[in-house]
Amino acid sequence: MTDKLPKLLKDAIEQNKPDVKVITENLKLPWLKLDLTFPNMPTYWPTYLENIEGKDWRGQWKFEEDSKSNYQVKDWNGGLLFGPQPHDEFLKTTQDIRFDVDEDSRCKKYRKDFKFDWYVNKSDLVRKWIGTIIPDEDLNLVNTYYIPPGGYVFPHKDYPHDGVGLAKIYIAAVWDKGNVFGIYGCGNIPIKQGDVFLLNNYTLPHWVYNGSNTKRCVIDIGANLNSPQLKDLVETSFKKYFQNNE
């Protein structure tokens, strides 16, 4: 039926399909739910959170104010699972990049200039699970973000160095009802325990709040979305989300 069509239209009709580059760079979707579920790890998180007690994630990344004095952040903290090593050397060398570019973007930009490795050992359950989805060479950064009940981060916007949109893989590792991840003009992301999303934290202001009665913990992954495994995951998820009538 398409034989007599002009070649341009014929090719477009026959060959058009979801493309990870278009989805993540050109489309400014606020989020995309990935076709993946993170397993429940009820014994892992209490121990993990005990271990990061007293550490200051913002201080580690040399943000201007530490978590305690910054009123825009209440009780928010995080831990570094995978990233540049040695970390201090990375910060020193990359300090010339624009001040408002976030740490994910910074790691992506300098991925080939530093050694990147895990900060947790091979038996770590989160490391093992991530390893089944993304090979180490395609990881840029893996953080955990933790907020106790009542904690929050004020509305803010992050800035990339390369104009990307959807970029962060965001895993709701411990997420009770009452938690909020709001994106301006879009409402709250419909996140449930175990969900894995691809988030765009660059186009719109966003904020988080733990209105539940339990500690909330998420895993945030910066990765090469064009790697074969992730490309397939993103494109399949996009199809499921937007073309589920097929």
Partner 1 sequence: MKIVLEVLAQFKNTAPNIKVSSNVDNCEFNLENKTNTIECNLNLQSSDTISIEFLNKDDNEDNVVNLKKMIVDDIDMQHFIYDGEFFPTYNTNWYNEQTIKPPKSYKPGTEMRHNGKWILNVQLPIWKMMMDNWINDDRQTS
Name the residues that contact partner 1, by CB under 8 A. Answer: 28, 98, 100, 155-157, 159-161, 163-165, 184-185, 200, 202-205
* Of 105 and 143, CB closest to partner 1: 105
Question: Of 156 and 177, which CB lies nearer to partner 1 in the complex structure?
Answer: 156
- Pick the closer one to partner 1 by CB: 4 or 98: 98
Q: Which of 64, 110, 101 is nearest to 83 (CA)?
A: 110
Cβ nearer to partner 1, comparing 80 with 199: 199
Shortest distance (Å) from residue 8 CB to partner 1: 29
DSSP assignment string, 143-190: EEEEE-TT-EEEEE--B-SS--SS-EEEEEEE--TTEEEEETTTEE--
What's the min distance (Å) between Cβ of 147 and partner 1? 21
CA 105/CA 88 separation, integer angstroms = 17
* Cβ at position 50, least distance to partner 1 in Å: 34
Count CB atoms within 10 A of the CB of residue 65: 12
Quote the CA–CA distance of 79 and 17 in Å, as a whole number. 38
In the complex, what is the shortest distance from the CB of residue 163 to partner 1, in angstroms, rounded to a whole number?
Answer: 5
